[in-house]
Amino acid sequence: MKKAGILLLLGMLLGTALYAQQNEEEAVKQTIVTMFDAMRAGDSSLLATTFHPEMTLKSVGMNKEGQVQLRNENAKEFLKAVGTPHDIVWDERILSWEIRIDGPMATAWTEYQFYAGERFSHCGVNAFQLIKQNGKWTIFHIADTRRKEGCLNE
């Protein structure tokens, strides 16, 4: 009878841990979904709520000579660009999610396709780094790739 009680307790603890992990993954995912919703809406105020104050952006791509390069982007300029009225909707569509969490840090790897209005622009992968402070997940770094070849819509 003691063994059954111990097994039941262990099962409950594992179930609770898995439930908590799933909740954290959903919270991380929701932060990123909110970021893309804000982009589509052109709402820089909402977008800013998803960013950590020390947010950084990097992009890995090819230059005109076909060499790999790392580009730095300014998070404040990105916020400004999103909030500046534009005629077309910036629509980044996430195709897949892989989220990993260790305590207050999370990584999300997402494949995406980007549309400017109805026109396909490019595809790639986002690598998000998030931090949980004061009960809230925010994005402190995004690295992405951008390409026009090898995309699912081809």
All domains in the chain, ordered by first residue: 2-145 (3.10.450.50)
pLDDT of the chain, 154 residues: tens digit per residue? 577 666 555 565 555 544 455 799 999 999 999 999 999 999 999 999 999 999 999 999 989 998 999 999 999 999 999 999 999 999 999 999 999 999 999 999 999 999 999 999 999 999 999 999 999 999 999 999 999 888 976 5
Q: Are 131 and 31 contacting, i.e. CB atoms less than 8 angstroms apart?
A: no
Residue of 89, 77, 76, 92 whose CA lies nearest to 144: 92
Reduced to 3 states (helix: H, G, I; strand: E, B; else coil), residue 81 is helix
Predicted model pTM = 0.83
Q: Would strands 51-62 and 136-145 be described as parallel, antiparallel, or unpaired?
A: parallel
Distance CA 121, CA 136 (A): 32
Q: Specify burial of residue 142 (Cβ count, 10 A radius: 0-12, 13-18, 19+).
A: buried
